Structure 1
Amino acid sequence: MTDTLHAQWVVLDIEGTLMPTAGVHVVLYDYARPRLGPWIDAHPDDLAVRSAVARTKAEAGLPEDATTAEVVAVLHGWMSADRKAAPLKDLQGLIWQDGYARGDLVSEYFPDVVPALRAWHSAGLRLAVFSSGSVAGQIASFSTTTEGDLTGLFRHHFDTVNAGPKREAASYAAIAEGLGGPTPGRIVFLSDVPAELDAAAAAGWQTIGLARDGEPFAAADFGAHRVAKSFDEFRIVTDD
């Protein structure tokens, strides 16, 4: 693929696009899973934790006096089903923040990713993230990586709470507003999930599908979207 795209903003998915899916589903999920209950019990007065617990009970139909163990059973079920439930994402984000701060967690990206991010940033492109993981979790993951602290590369972070579902065009319209209202055609979205690319394209965005070897969507049908196996296979430049 040798396409050159002209844009103002590059919006990036994380899982399967910037880092291996196993980096989330194995490393991060396995870190959070045994810590959910202890974290809830250790932070009874934390408003974010209390809110997440209350929302979990409401969504799962649990009584208000449900035990931590009952809440955690629901959260574990959501994790196993890979359900993008907001209260789960909030709790995971808090736990991951702590894990990165402690040095227990260090993000590792595909080898083509960080050089491309730095080059785009240096060239004047504006970078943002749209991931199902919480904004807090996103920032934490970029703060401690094998390539150093990358948080300064990104101007905005979006998740399914502040933007909406990743497979709905309205979410991408909301993000465009959050970016300051650039012309939709000046935004490029990179993701490994065809349905997400469809939604972004429906909102008028340019799209690139990442079909990385060994990833769940490597052999997916990307339809009319541009497709690449790595960031080395295309160029994004700005006219600004």
Structure 2
Amino acid sequence: MTTDWIVLDIEGTTSATEAVHKGLYDYARPRLGLWIEAHADGPQVKEALEQVRAETGAATTAEVVAVLHRWMDGDVKATPLKTLQGQIWAAGFAAGELTSHFFADVPPALARWRAEGIRVAVFSSGSVASQRPWFRHGDAGDLSAYVEDYFDTVNAGPKREESSYRRIAEALGAEPARTLFLSDVPAELDAAAAAGWRTVGVARPGEPNATAGFGPHPVIDSFDRLEDHA
């Protein structure tokens, strides 16, 4: 093996896009206003509200929620939205109201990588607060023991920027050339490759990027086919 670390995207890579957009988004959407009002004094909620208001001019809670709904409709990767969604989802997982989805090949692959001495981290646009319960409350059980670290656009940076991957490698103490990134988004793979990482595109049947052009990146449709690239 030439890989010390495998860094995973979530949506479209480990888990179906529909599970996020329908399951999680539909859960968070009607709860945003109530959550903001109930946790208005929380430092993360305060910061998120300040960011929305500074960016959009929204004043009332209703106006802020309307902005957040528009961002959700447009799948905008906005930090304040991800923060609030992450808090709501974490509460939903803790209450047993949410269960995350993983493709069938993912749990055995995580176990196999652990046995082979390969370490695993996650880099997703969803907040770390939502990533942790996602792996803890899966339809295949608790997978969190296989993941050593989590990164999002707050603690690492945008997923399509080379500097984010350099930051992650430094945080992990990982050698870029021995770090492998798996994602269904070609632009993210380009950024990781520019930072010296090895990359493999994930084109799962039925997913939005299944027919995307991955350029120079090797492509798999299941983690079972990763062995030739790890």
Do they superpose with TM above 0.5? yes
TM-score, normalised relative to structure 1: 0.93
1:85 maps to 2:78: yes
Q: Which amino acid aligns with 1:143?
A: R
The answer to whether residue 29 in structure 2 is matched with residue 33 in structure 1 is yes
Equivalences for residues 1-240 of structure 1 within 5 A: 6-62=2-58, 66-180=59-173, 182-235=174-227
1:109 is displaced (CA, Å) by 0.5
SS at 1:72 equivalent: helix
Q: For residue 177 of structure 1, what is the amino acid of its counterpart?
A: E
Supply the AA of the counterpart residue of 2:105: D
Distance 2:82 2:220 in 1: 29
Structure showing greater relative contact order (alpha-carbon pairs closer than 8 Å, 6 or more residues apart): 1
Q: Tell me if the contact between 1:7 and 1:236 (Cα under 8 Å) persists in the aligned partners.
A: no
For 2:91 and 2:159, how far apart are their aligned partners in 1?
A: 26
| Secondary structure, counterpart of 2:103 in structure 1 | coil
Cα root mean square deviation, aligned:
1.3
Q: Which amino acid aligns with 1:120?
A: W
* CA 1:80–1:237: 2 relative to 1, 3 Å: closer
SS at match of 2:148: strand
- Distance change >3 Å, CA 236–CA 96, structure 1 → 2: farther
The SS at the match of 1:15 is coil
1:44 Cα shift? Answer: 2.2
State the Cα distance separating 1:236 from its structure 2 match: 7.0
Give the Cα–Cα distance (whole angstroms) in 2 for the partners of residues 179 and 194 of structure 1. 23
Provide structure 2 residue ranges, at least 5 long, that are not aligned to the other structure: none
State the distance in 2 between where 1:179 and 1:236 align: 24
Q: Helix, strand or coil: the match of 2:120?
A: strand
Judged with a 3 Å threshold, the aligned counterparts in structure 2 of structure 1 residues 135 and 236 are, in CA distance, closer, same or farther, namely farther
Distance 2:72 2:199 in 1: 29
Aligned length: 230
CA distance in 2, matches of 1:48, 1:199: 29
After superposition, give the CA deviation of every residue in 1:57-99 in whole Å (9 maximum; x if it has no partner).
111123xxx2110100010011111111101000000000000
The 4+ residue runs of structure 1 with deviation greater than 2 A are none
The percentage of aligned residue pairs carrying the same residue is 59
SS of 1:160 mapped into structure 2: coil
- Partner Cα distance (2:9, 2:15) in 1: 9
- C-alpha displacement of 1:22: 0.4
Judge conservation of contact 2:200–2:229 (CA < 8 Å) in 1.
no
Deviation at 1:50, TM superposition (A): 1.4
1: CA distance, partners of 2:148 / 2:225: 24
* AA at the equivalent of 1:193: V
Rounded to whole Å, the distance in 1 between the matches of 2:45 and 2:146 is 29
Task: Tell me, in whole angstroms, the C-alpha distance in 1 between the residues paired with 2:228 and 2:147.
Answer: 16
